[in-house]
Amino acid sequence: MPELPEVETVVRTLRPQVLNARITKVELLRPSVVLPQSLPLDSLCGCRIIAADRRGKLILLRLLPPPGADGGEYPACLVVHLRMTGRLMPHPTGTPPHAHTRCLFHLEGPHGKSVLFFDDVRAFGLLFAATPERLAAWDFWRELGPEPLAVPADALARQLAPRLSSRRGPIKSLLLDQKILAGIGNIYADEALFRARIDPRRPANSLDATSLLTLCRELQAVLRLSIEQCGSSIRDYRDANGNVGAFQNSFAAYGRGGQPCVTCGRPLEKTQVGGRATVYCPHCQH
DNA sequence: TCCTCCCTGTTC
DNA sequence: GAACAGGGAGGA
């Protein structure tokens, strides 16, 4: 379940392997993973990868059109969303597709040839070969909320305050809303709320400035800790080298329903908030 | 603002 | 053989 720290880790491990490589061929094994507004993936052929970035949970491979490109429409970037079970990993040329390989990108780079695999067991992930115009017209992209780590915690709290002040829904649901804040999923929402000692069911507009600042501080802290440990691996997640993360060993709340709270020792409660599995400590979080 | 669906492997 | 995992779209 790649969230911000996992996607950041994928981008960091992928970058040195694909930078300055040229896409020579694309094999789309499952056409439904391509967004309807995408250019045909064949338009990626000849393009050179000049950067690998992250925005929220999105991976962006920035592209330069082939030299002497004329007339035809070329993508400026390839957007990849791993959703639940997506993986992006280069393999040696000739490696046969796996059972859940959705797309293959053949690359010719400074370090030789390779094939970038997009694997996705549950086929929730998506690919989008985008021009700047097509990207700007994508609602999800246009409405994406602020980056949680782009500014200090107090500035983040000031960005969030007006977005939460009119919302009576549970604070956890709003943390998961990519329009409010980009990159947070179920793991880091539960972990941040636990560390901030805030009940996930509390109406968002009931948080005062102090609580919101605490939440922003704890959210940033937990995201940074996880990035340091190369993210969390529940079952599917791997970085672009095939390595697992380590932060799952540091979970205080996520997946620990019924186990003792690391703060007070009482059992953690498992419930549903906004349809999502949620674990919290009824004694410590208010 | 909440519910259902998409998708498939794993767990109960 | 059903329940569950869950990000996001779409509908009630």
**pLDDT of the residue at A68:** 80
Residues A207, A213: Cα–Cα separation, whole Å: 10
Mean pLDDT within A140-159:
95
* pTM for this prediction: 0.96
Our answer to whether residue A270 is catalytic in this structure is no
- Return the nearest residue to B7, CA–C1': A122
Span A100-136, pLDDT tens digits: 999 999 999 988 999 999 999 888 899 999 999 999 9
> CA at A14, C1' at C9: how many angstroms apart?
29
Span A54-73, pLDDT tens digits: 999 999 999 999 988 777 78
Our answer to whether residue A2 is catalytic in this structure is yes
- Return the nearest residue to B1, CA–C1': A169
Residue A170 predicted with pLDDT over 80: yes
Nucleotide nearest to A124 in CA–C1' terms: B7
- Residue A87's pLDDT band (cuts 50, 70, 90): very high
Contact between A187 and A1 (Cβ < 8 Å): yes
